[in-house]
Structure 1
Amino acid sequence: MMTEYNGVHSFLLEYIGKCKSGEIIVGRELVQMLDVLLTHFDNPDIQIDFEDAHKRIKFIETKCKHYEAPFAGKPFILELFQKAFIEAFYSFKIYDEEVGRWIRLYQDFLYLVGRKNGKTPLISAMDLAEFFCGPLGIKILCASNDYEQADLMFQAINAMREESPALDKVTRKNIKGIFFGNPKKRKAKGKFSYKNKGSIRKISAKTGAKEGRNIGVGSVDEVHELKDNSSIMPIRQALSTQDEPIYGELTTEGMVNDGYLDERLKDARKVLNGELDRPRWLIWLYTQDSEAEIWQDEKTWPKSNPGLGAIKKWSFLRQMIEEAKTSKATRAFVLSKDFNIKQNNAQAWLMPEDIINPEIFEIEEFRNCFAIGSVDLSKSGDLACARATLMKKGSQKKYTLQKYFIPASKLLTLSKDERAMYEDWIKQGLIEVSPGNENDFRLVTAWFVKLYKEYGIRFYKIGYDKWSATYWVKEMEEIGFDCVRVNQDFGSMSEPMKLVEADLKSNMINYNDNPIDKYCLENTALNINSKAEIMPVKVQGKENKKIDGAVTMIIGYKIYIDNRTEFLDLVGR
């Protein structure tokens, strides 16, 4: 396949040729876009002009330097796939009757790629190139879901600017952004003087007053975190006065259900399939053709990781795959972030075989022992749970005693089958019923007191969630119990939830074969954030089911992890 057009070497044509020959492995969705681009070369209504693209490529490779290890300080030499993308965006021109001249065909792009493939540095370098190579007075906006993420792109741009003496000499940075003109080396006039009112700024989805800006470039990072287009539309509207605006979205896949990226990808795939006409949108998706191929053939991994081997390490990805085989949280995170396979943000947490453990024990085995307590009081009109977690000297196995509580009125709202199930548990003494519409939390207190008085079980600390706990905590502390609040958020719940999962899989939790514990564990899903942190939620479609027992296990483990040394010392006495 030819790699030149009108005597000029084309990185795009070179890339397409290598993709078509199989030398470079790409997925079906990128091939669809490349096929569209090939038709442009034979379209009489489209002019091919590489000048703008090659000018920016040259700028990046000669003026920009990497700013993070292991490439810090080295020239930003673009990979072929990156050059092909830049060329695809800048090289095709159409005649615009309203503007009265030939202008760039593509105004928007969506760039989807696995993490650690140089996504943010590439778009940051393109923005910096546009700042210097674009029109006088161009204003560039770096945006994301939160200020920290938007700052990553902004700081990437600034780090490249500072690394280059030539760029640093004619620009300045302050808390508002990056601007032309250097106070130490002033130029009276010209593109690189104070008279050039161009700027690079940052903004987040949470920042107000986005309307009214007049920008030439809007780059939005990690759009998978956006719940809707409310923060996107003001940015796009701010581009409306430009003859050749640039609006770019760059991201990996995410776990926000029915979020902005879901809708954006639906439209993108309709465009690629010829079902929707968006001729000015460049859709550049590095995706796998199936999940099965990820596990079966690592040679397919470059489909979602084009920088594999040059930017991203094969060893890193192999390690992630091995961890994903044993951890549900890691699996969901790796599939979405490394391979762009969409994951539900409420993944089922455990397999049935992880939950089953028929082992039982007698409470007498723990007479006069220390325990960690935990409660999930939930809403006063619903199921609640209290738990004691115990250990034996020289063993990592955890043994748990549990008691559930429910108001009588709640039983009346259950279906016939559910009510029969709950009534059976009540007969077995697993659930204590409070009369009326609310749980009597004094019964929870009485359960902890009973374990102390009848079996000498002393509670080191008792973890509780925030729901309905204020008066109960006061009552417990007046008796002498030490109560510790455990927030039900990613930061608090992630590490203990992962340890509970690992211990359940290795039969290191003996919950006395309690059927309500089983029921709660089956209903528990894990919610995953962009940091691979997890927390418990209900499985989708089971919003009326209960997970209180699983939550108390996790809360108990949180207390254990935070106080492991001291608690194990008490256990060993």
Structure 2
Amino acid sequence: MSDYPYNVIQAEYDGTHSYLLEYISKCKSGEILIGHELMLMLDILLTHFDDPEIKVDFEDGHKRIKFIETKCKHFEAPFAGKPFLLELFQKAFVEAIYIFKIYDNEINRWVRLYQDILFLVARKNGKTPLISALCLAEFFCGELGTRILCSSNDYEQADLMFQAIDSMREESKSLEKRTRSNIKGIFFGNPKKPKKTGKFSYKNKGQIKKISAKTGAKEGKNIKVGAVDEVHELKDNTSTMPIRQAVSTQHEPLYIELTTEGVVNDGYLDERLIEARQVLNDELERPRWLIWLYTQDNEQEVWQDEKSWIKSNPGVGVIKKRSFLKKMIDEAKTSKSMRVFVLSKDFNIKQNNATAWLTTEDIVNEQTFDLEDFRSSFAIGAVDLSKSGDLASARIFLMKPGSHKKYTYQKYFIPESKLEQLSKEDRERFKEWIRQDLIRVSPRNENDFSLVTQFFLSLYKDYGIRVYKVGYDKWSAVYWTKEMEECGFDCVRVSQEFGSLSEPMKLVEADLKSNLINYNHHPIDKWCLENTALKLSTKQEIMPVKVQGKEEQKIDGAVTMIIGYRIYIDNRTEFLSLVGR
């Protein structure tokens, strides 16, 4: 069969229609557009039909496809209550898992070829419902005592798959009356008919349960099917290896990893994809590993060719709305954090989780102002005390009535000993900034944080500027906050984590792009912004970190901008009323 021209690959094999062959034929002819990596896997699968050591048996695969389409129903809008009718790419995927058999001399029978599955597809293409339906099909169609484990990096994500399975079970009267569910899992047996015998009675000790990477005691479980969702969040294999070992006692185990791309550097998925691509390129032998990757061939086609989006989104137009993708692309063009998220989650293009935050155009701003223009005004304060032996930053934000623009005045602080540890280039730069009174130096090895207090006091003494609230990070702040409060300042701690910093960081980015932040053309602010990268969480939250390769550079000025914006967001109404007086 592999000798056939690509455009005439037959969808029949020994009189049976094959969804996999139909899919391969349409992909080869160009009717269905896929990426190069999936095409490599399909080429491997095509050779199996001619391999004398591999038996092609459609019974198990088609039985599960029929079960899903006739017994499973969707449970979420807009398809709630409707039959789970599989798309061709989904049928081909299920077929690929089940139809190929090899003879196992150890147990003297034919067994499924593929035991490990890696399924990579962009978000909102139905991957979790599909694998959930497949697990439910395996529960009913598989052998007696089939035990299934749903897992993910956190309990909430693992519960999504478990709840999907349970909801499909409840939607079907025939499945619901043969099973029961409780907080521990899903089990066979109708409580109303405890004495009934047969595969779907209490006699069947099969079960479906859930765990997370944070759950202990994963070793020792004897399961047949292990499904791990969103493996891109895993840092290493400590949570997957026990599951893989737990299925090792089975004659026909099934271990499935389903995921989108992620932003965790050097994480578990990175290692798996390196090996997967080696297998696809015939550089590594893993004959029992089915690698099903929906990926783009390059980033440029995402921006230039809308038709290429189907490569990473096989469900676009049916499961996933094309209008949603267009909206995401439009937002990604104007927001760096959105760009990172969209490329990784919607197009499976790996993104560094510490990528540069702003462009040069965003940062460069030659606007200046005179602090005298804000005499007797109210301000918001922000400090990044950092470690006592490093650079520290303090600033205020000022606004004018009826304007959205923020004017920020700042001062930096550094201990004398730190100057000698700088590179020659940075040392000269810092000495110049000190001469310009942009940095104040503390003697010896530690910052004298009373200089920070004096900075805020001098603003009132010299200009009558009253600081409404001062946001601060946690480093070395105990004695300093006590000193500030004794001087009459209201200090508010801002946690250095995603939940606190994401919203203000996004607003700082938007305001910089719109020229709504006048940082008085301050060279240290510009330098800190250039050194700042964004770290992205799986919840699309961001926080500032140092650009990779610039670990010795400073981002304190950017951090105080974000801290100040946190205080502004939380107190916007009251602060603006003070500004308008």
Aligned pairs (5 A) from 1:12-31 = 12-31=20-39
SS in 2 for 1:390: strand
Superposed, which structure 2 residues align to 1:555-570 within 5 Å? 555-570=563-578
Distance 1:356 1:113 in 2: 38
- 1:311 counterpart residue number: 319
Instruction: Output the CA distance in 1 between the equivalents of 2:478 and 2:190.
Output: 58
Distance in 2 between the 1:67 and 1:392 partners?
52
TM alignment of 1:378-389, pairs within 5 A: 378-389=386-397
The match for 1:140 is 148
Q: Which AA in structure 2 matches 1:255?
A: V
Aligned to 2:475: 467
Amino acid at match of 1:330: M
The percentage of aligned residue pairs carrying the same residue is 76
Q: What is the alpha-carbon distance in structure 2 between the residues aligned to residue 347 and residue 83 of structure 1?
A: 38
Query: Does residue 426 of the first structure (1) align with residue 434 of the second (2)?
Result: yes
Tell me what 1:184 maps to: 192
Q: Which letter does structure 2 place at the counterpart of 1:238?
A: A
Alignment partner, residue 532 of structure 1: 540
The equivalent residue for 2:293 is 285
1:164 aligns with 2:172: yes
2:221 paired residue number = 213
**CA shift at 1:353, angstroms?**
1.2
What is the CA–CA distance in structure 2 between the aligned matches of 1:235 and 1:26, rounded to whole Å? 31
Matched residue pairs, number?
573
Pair 1:184–1:324, CA change in 2 (3 A): same
Write out per-residue CA displacement over residues 136-181 of structure 1, whole angstroms, 9 at most, x where no aligned residue: 0011000001111101000100010111111110111111111111
The answer for the alignment partner of 2:52 in structure 1 is 44
3-state SS in 2 of match to 1:219: strand
Equivalent residue of 1:466, what SS? coil
Whether the 8 Å CA contact 1:466–1:485 is kept in 2: the answer is: yes
Which among 202, 209, 221 is matched to residue 210 of structure 2? 202
Q: Secondary structure at the match of 2:148?
A: strand
| Residue in structure 1 matched with residue 453 of structure 2 by the alignment | 445
Q: Is the 1:219–1:249 contact (alpha carbons within 8 Å) kept by the matching residues of 2?
A: yes
- 1:519 is aligned to 527
Residue 131 (structure 1) aligned with residue 139 (structure 2): yes
* Structure 2 Cα separation of the partners of residues 178 and 5 of structure 1: 37
Q: Contact (CA 8 Å) 1:121, 1:156: kept in 2 or not? A: yes
Q: Give the letter aligned to residue 482 of structure 1.
A: D
Separation in 2, partners of 1:412, 1:564:
42
Alignment of 1:224-243 (within 5 A): 224-243=232-251
1:503 equivalent to 2:511? Answer: yes
Number of the residue aligned with 1:402 = 410
Q: Which residue of 2 aligns with 1:99?
A: 107
Out of 340, 358, 377, the position equivalent to 1:369 is: 377
AA aligned to 2:351 is: Q
**Cα distance in 2 for residues equivalent to 1:306 and 1:399:** 48
The aligned counterpart of 1:334 is 342
- In 2, Cα distance between equivalents of 1:372 and 1:209: 50
* Offset at residue 505 of structure 1 (A): 1.1
> Which residue matches 1:488?
496
Distance in 2 (alpha carbons) for counterparts of 1:168 and 1:470? 59
Cα distance, 1:240 vs structure 2: 1.0
Which residue number in structure 1 is paired with residue 309 of structure 2?
A: 301
Of 104, 117, 139, 1:109 maps to 117
| Corresponding letter in the other structure for 2:276 | A
CA-to-partner distance for each residue in 1:83-106, whole Å, 9 max, x for gaps? 000000000000010011000000
In structure 1, C-alpha distance between the alignment counterparts of 2:251 and 2:182, rounded to whole Å:
29
| Partners of 1:182 and 1:543 in 2: CA distance | 61
1:368 and 1:565 map into 2 onto residues whose CA distance is 19
Q: Which amino acid aligns with 1:472?
A: W
TM-score (norm 2): 0.98
**What TM-score comes out, normalization by structure 1 length?**
0.99
Q: Residues 85-140 of structure 1: CA distance to partner in whole angstroms, max 9, x if unpaired?
A: 00000000000100110000000100000000000000000000000000100110
Within 1, Cα distance between the matches of 2:161 and 2:206?
Answer: 18
Counterpart secondary structure, 1:480 = coil
- The structural deviation recorded for 1:184 is 2.2
* Code of the aligned partner of 2:277: R
Q: Residue 320 of structure 1 is aligned with which of 328, 336, 343?
A: 328
Q: Is the 8 A contact 1:131 1:138 kept in 2?
A: yes
Where in structure 2 are there 5+ consecutive unaligned residues? 1-8
CA shift for structure 1 position 187: 4.4
Task: Supply the distance in 1 between the matched residues of 2:567 and 2:294 (Cα, whole angstroms).
Answer: 42
Match of 2:6 in 1: none
Given the alignment of the two structures, is residue 544 of structure 1 paired with residue 573 of structure 2, yes or no? no
Distance in 1 between the 2:561 and 2:270 partners? 34
Matched, 1:357 2:396: no
CA offset at residue 73 of structure 1?
1.0
Q: How far apart are 1:459 and its partner, in Å?
A: 1.1
SS at match of 2:186: strand
Q: For 2:250 and 2:416, locate their aligned partners in 1 and report how far apart those are by CA, in whole Å.
A: 66
Deviation (angstroms), 1:188: 2.6
1:236-275 matches, cutoff 5 A: 236-275=244-283
Output the CA distance in 2 between the equivalents of 1:340 and 1:350: 22
Letter of the 2:337 partner, please give it: A
- Does the C-alpha gap of structure 1 residues 77 and 187 become closer, same or farther in structure 2, counting only changes over 3 Å? farther
Partner-residue secondary structure (3-state), 2:208: strand
| Aligned-partner residue type, residue 244 of structure 1 | E
Shift of 1:474: 1.2
State the Cα distance separating 1:562 from its structure 2 match: 1.1
Displacement after TM superposition at 1:193 (Å): 1.1
Contact kept in structure 2, 1:170 and 1:185, CA below 8 Å: no
The one-letter amino acid paired with 1:497 is M
Hey, what's the Cα distance between the residues in 2 that align with 1:185 and 1:456?
Answer: 82
Q: CA deviation at 1:481?
A: 0.8
Distance 2:350 2:24 in 1: 26
Letter in 1 for 2:469: K
Contact kept in structure 2, 1:181 and 1:187, CA below 8 Å = no
Give the distance between the partners of 1:217 and 1:455, measured in 2 at CA: 70
In structure 1, distance between residues paired with 2:195 and 2:543: 56
Following superposition, the deviation at residue 185 of structure 1 comes to: 3.2
Residue 318 of structure 1: how far off its partner (Å): 0.3
Q: Which amino acid aligns with 1:386?
A: A
**2:130 equivalent to 1:122:** yes
Distance in 1 of aligned mates of 2:345 and 2:44 = 27
**Cα separation, 2, equivalents of 1:474 and 1:84:** 66
Q: Secondary structure at the match of 2:365?
A: coil
Matched, 1:35 2:43: yes
Post-superposition offset of 1:227:
0.3
- Supply the AA of the counterpart residue of 2:200: F
- Separation (CA, whole Å) in 1 of partners of 2:54 and 2:200: 33
Q: Could you tell me how far apart the structure 1 residues matched to 2:574 and 2:190 are?
A: 58
* Structure-2 separation of matches of 1:444 and 1:173: 60
Q: Deviations over 1:283-330 (max 9, x none)?
A: 000000110111111000000000000000000000100111111111
What CA distance in whole angstroms lies between the structure 2 residues aligned with 1:497 and 1:365? Answer: 27
Letter in 1 for 2:572: R
Kindly indicate whether the alpha-carbon contact (under 8 Å) linking 1:169 and 1:185 is maintained by their aligned counterparts in 2: no
SS of residue matched to 1:284: strand
Residue 116 of structure 1 contacts residue 312 of structure 1 at CA under 8 Å; is this kept in 2? yes
Residues 62-71 or 83-92, more deviating: 62-71
Residue in 2 that maps onto 1:74: 82
Following the alignment from structure 2 to structure 1, what is the Cα–Cα distance between the partners of residues 297 and 347? 10
